[in-house]
Amino acid sequence: MTHTNLTSRTTRRLGERRALRCVIAASLVAIMACSVSIGAARAAMPVIRDVQRKVVKIYGAGGLRQMEAYQSGILVSAEGHVVTALSYVLDTDDVAAVLDDGRKFSVEFVGSDPVLELAVLKLNLGDEQVSWFDLKEAAAAAPGEPVLAVSNLYGIAAGDEPASILQGVVTAIAPLEARRGAFQANYRGDVYVVDAHANNPGAAGGALVDWRGRLLGVLGKELKSRVTGAWLNYALPVETWAGSVEAIIAGRNATGSPGLALAPEEPLTLADLGVVLVPNLLARTPAYLDAVRPGSPAASAGLRPDDLIVFVAGEPTASCSEVIETLGRIDRRDELRMAVLREGELVDVVLAAEIDEEPAGPPSSAGEVDEPAADESDSTEPAAGESNREGA
């Protein structure tokens, strides 16, 4: 592979080949462990075999460089309904699903949830019988609990080969703060973060199960974490999507997906507060106050120039851009709590809402930093960083 071919996905980890080797080693360890009596985390063989019957290999569009033409899916009904990732692989009329025993079915597209980025397919079973996960019997897991990720990652399983098993533990249950290239994931709710390399190409749509074989979640698409900057291994918990999937199967529109924050009617701006930040020149300019307008809510709350804003409405803010972005999610008619660092001390302040229909008075230079939040974050953040990194 030449240097110019490197994209985000191949730079993913130092030597994907090695990662792959680890993955295979891990799956083999997990599988072999079933037949020996010593070793690390393991579930018994019948459990694993049972889970493998409920995970299907899905083949569809793609096949170009870095766009694998396959992914994984989970059977969730006796009628052959499959939950999988909503992706380009499904962008064709010619999607096929292959079971662990080699049976191959054409599929029809039932519906999708664009927020969760999940799709529901139905296998044209005819008279055939299949095993499936009953969503009503799904389980939940806590951080530290051992889990298995079951998927056709890298398309290794072919024909009548069952999906690969990876073992790991739940690392955390945390909001999905992730991005794919320059795009953010639509879903912002909690996910299971795991310490297995569960989300490699082809794994999306696979199952995360506990050692008793109970379904915990569906493996998501490849994403990088905004928090750690690293590729994320995660699954969407069943309880976040079971309702939506049942609605799709029942022929209703998917509704009530959690995780979409509504933008406030009248977003708060710096001018509303009566403060000017220092010029936002760097990617991470610390949010120091440059000026405070006399008589403004900020002045009444006792804010002073040179205060460093570190929390806005309970959310940590590491830079001017983050302050502006966070304010944009708050309605200007609400009371606002902030914390600033002043001479090495944390100072909490409460800013009363300013019901003032007049345009904000001086300082007029506030307009300079008072851009809409979205523009700020888009222009300064990951997109540029990502492309530079790849170019380097």
Residues between 302 and 331 with contacts to another protein, criterion CB under 8 A: 308, 310-311, 316-319
Residue 385 engages another protein in binding (rule: CB under 8 A): yes
Contact assessment for residue 152 and residue 165, using Cβ atoms and an 8 Å cutoff: no
Q: Give the residue, chosen from 3, 4, 40, 253, that forms a contact with another protein under the rule CB under 8 A.
A: 40
Q: Which is nearer to another protein, 284 or 333 (CB)?
A: 284
Q: Which is nearer to another protein, 44 or 350 (CB)?
A: 44
Q: Which is nearer to another protein, 51 or 245 (CB)?
A: 51
Q: What would the two tokens of residue 73 be?
A: 């899916």
Q: Which of residues 107-166 bind another protein (CB under 8 A)?
A: 142-146, 154-158, 161-162, 164
Residue 54 engages another protein in binding (rule: CB under 8 A): no
Contact assessment for residue 92 and residue 69, using Cβ atoms and an 8 Å cutoff: no
Q: Which is nearer to another protein, 110 or 156 (CB)?
A: 156
Residues 286, 284: Cα–Cα separation, whole Å: 6
Q: Is 70 exposed, middle or buried (0-12, 13-18, 19+ CB in 10 A)?
A: buried
Q: Distance between terminal CA atoms of the chain?
A: 16
Measured N-to-C along each axis, helices 373-380 and 320-327 cross at an angle, to the nearest 10 degrees, of 150
Residue 24 engages another protein in binding (rule: CB under 8 A): yes
Contact assessment for residue 9 and residue 222, using Cβ atoms and an 8 Å cutoff: yes
Q: Give the residue, chosen from 41, 139, 291, 313, that forms a contact with another protein under the rule CB under 8 A.
A: 41
Q: Which of residues 202-221 bind another protein (CB under 8 A)?
A: 211-213
Q: Which is nearer to another protein, 12 or 81 (CB)?
A: 12
Closest approach, Cβ 98 to another protein, in A, equals 10
Q: Give the residue, chosen from 51, 54, 70, 209, that forms a contact with another protein under the rule CB under 8 A.
A: 70
Q: Which is nearer to another protein, 63 or 295 (CB)?
A: 63
Q: Which is nearer to another protein, 172 or 313 (CB)?
A: 172
Closest approach, Cβ 57 to another protein, in A, equals 9
Q: Which is nearer to another protein, 197 or 221 (CB)?
A: 197
Q: Give the residue, chosen from 6, 34, 139, 299, that forms a contact with another protein under the rule CB under 8 A.
A: 34
Sheet with 308-312, strands from edge to edge, namely: 315-316, 308-312, 336-342, 345-351
Residue 8 engages another protein in binding (rule: CB under 8 A): no
Q: Give the residue, chosen from 6, 177, 329, 361, that forms a contact with another protein under the rule CB under 8 A.
A: 177
Residues 139, 95: Cα–Cα separation, whole Å: 30
Q: Give the residue, chosen from 6, 61, 69, 299, that forms a contact with another protein under the rule CB under 8 A.
A: 69
Q: Which of residues 270-289 bind another protein (CB under 8 A)?
A: 282-287
Q: Which is nearer to another protein, 18 or 333 (CB)?
A: 18
| Contacts of residue 69, Cβ cutoff 8 Å, sequence gap at least 6 | 59, 60, 61, 62, 63, 89
Q: Give the residue, chosen from 54, 68, 269, 324, that forms a contact with another protein under the rule CB under 8 A.
A: 68
Q: Which is nearer to another protein, 174 or 291 (CB)?
A: 174
Contact assessment for residue 149 and residue 97, using Cβ atoms and an 8 Å cutoff: no
Residue 63 engages another protein in binding (rule: CB under 8 A): yes
Angle at 227 between CA 222 and CA 232, to 5 degrees: 25
Q: Give the residue, chosen from 102, 229, 295, 372, that forms a contact with another protein under the rule CB under 8 A.
A: 229
DSSP 302: T
Residue 226 engages another protein in binding (rule: CB under 8 A): yes
Give the CA dihedral 296, 297, 301, 307, nearest 10 degrees: -70
**φ, ψ of residue 174 in degrees (nearest 5):** -145, 155
Give the CA dihedral 51, 118, 236, 222, nearest 10 degrees: 100
Q: Give the residue, chosen from 185, 203, 339, 373, that forms a contact with another protein under the rule CB under 8 A.
A: 339
Give the CA dihedral 50, 54, 57, 58, nearest 10 degrees: 180
Residues 17, 128: Cα–Cα separation, whole Å: 38
Query: In this chain, which stretch among 15-23, 85-93, 119-127, 363-371 interacts with another protein, using CB under 8 A?
Result: 15-23
- Residues binding another protein: what is the number (CB under 8 A)? 91
Contact assessment for residue 291 and residue 277, using Cβ atoms and an 8 Å cutoff: no
Residue 180 engages another protein in binding (rule: CB under 8 A): no
